[in-house]
Amino acid sequence: MNILEIAKKYEQYIIDMRRHFHMNPEPSMQEYETSKRVQEELDKMGVEYVVCGNGIGVLATIKGAKPGKTVLLRADMDALTVNEENDLPYKSVKEGVMHACGHDAHTALLLGAAQILKDMKEELCGTVKLAFQPAEEIGKGALAMIAEGAMEGVDAVFGQHIWSGVESGKISIQPGPRMASAAQYEIKVQGKGGHGAMPAECIDAVTCSCAIVNSMQTVVSREFRPNDAVVVTVGTVNVGTRWNVIADNGSLTGTTRCYDKTVLKELPERMERIARGIGEAYRCDIEFTYEDLLGPTVNHPEMTAVAAEAAKKIYGEENLVHMDATTGGEDFSYFIEAAPNNMGAFAFPGIASVEWDSCHAHHSPKFKVDESALVKGAALYAQVAADFNCR
């Protein structure tokens, strides 16, 4: 059974679906029309599904004729609040909303995979679940689907993210950490305001805030080992109102990233200790809040091996390439964490092509996709499902 040949029958379908979703983007937790279209397409195929995940996500099920395991394939559906700058026939029709990350392609790939898997049901082992997930960009969709039973009976999970940092026609599938955790924090600084000419009568929130910004960098350089990949970013600093006024209060917000779950657990304690210590030194009160948004996406070696062997059949062994782990976050990590023994893998099929002008960074208003690369992504979903379930 040549899955790639089956997939080629649906190449134009995949492209058409991707263009439809690209023209009609919807931000996180608002993907109602996208979900409706996915359901309509599944109805046409005769594929069973349930709405799963805040009334938006769609969980389809395809059962093979032969016994076997159960694998979940996942695609995300949400767009970004980015204003598209591309001049394309299928440019976003919604001002300020754009598929600038590739989730339109992911949704189309999984619909294509549904077509392929439907065609090969008589040869397929076990069960394949297809999760069309909302709200990846805000880290809420995977948890919502898992809470509503998406992972019941699942033995392994597989996902993909098209990647503009990988050459079109090539793919990265590697074991271990692939994407980082993501957390958001805020540090509020309370001082005592007053006249800029009389600092001794005040408690300056500006100097305290600046000291905290500088010292946050030592969390990386002095609190963790040199081989622990850690990012602590201060993204905003809001302090002060006027040139001759000592600031009464300030606020710092930012994000952290890492790949190690031990580091992830230790980060907030160490950051808070430093912030409060500086606050005490500068006589300011400190309020520290920290929210974990995503855990790191870590590929299980066994599931990665299955996916890599599947990719060799679709892409050719010579087109499997190395890609360094990225510090971007991905809520597919929750699906991996929910799988038995964390049996999951996440792949990065390349879309970078000079001809298609598809080398722009993800989240860029100029982001484009080499659509000629999409059919192999759909075939890979089906190949991984077939290979895992029939082992």
Q: Which residues are catalytic?
A: 78, 136
d(CA 106, CA 104): 5
Q: Which amino acid is located at 377 in the chain? A: G
* Residue length of the chain: 391
Radius of gyration over alpha carbons of the chain, in Å? 24
> From the DSSP assignment, how many helices (H) and strands (E) are in the chain?
10, 17
d(CA 81, CA 100): 9
Question: To 10 degrees, what angle do helices 261-281 and 205-223 make?
Answer: 150
β-bridge mates for residue 251, sequence order: 188, 238
Write b or e for each residue in 72-107: b if 16 or more Cβ atoms lie within 10 A of its Cβ, otherwise e: bbbbbbbbbebebebeeebebeeeebbbbbbbbbbb
SS3 85: coil
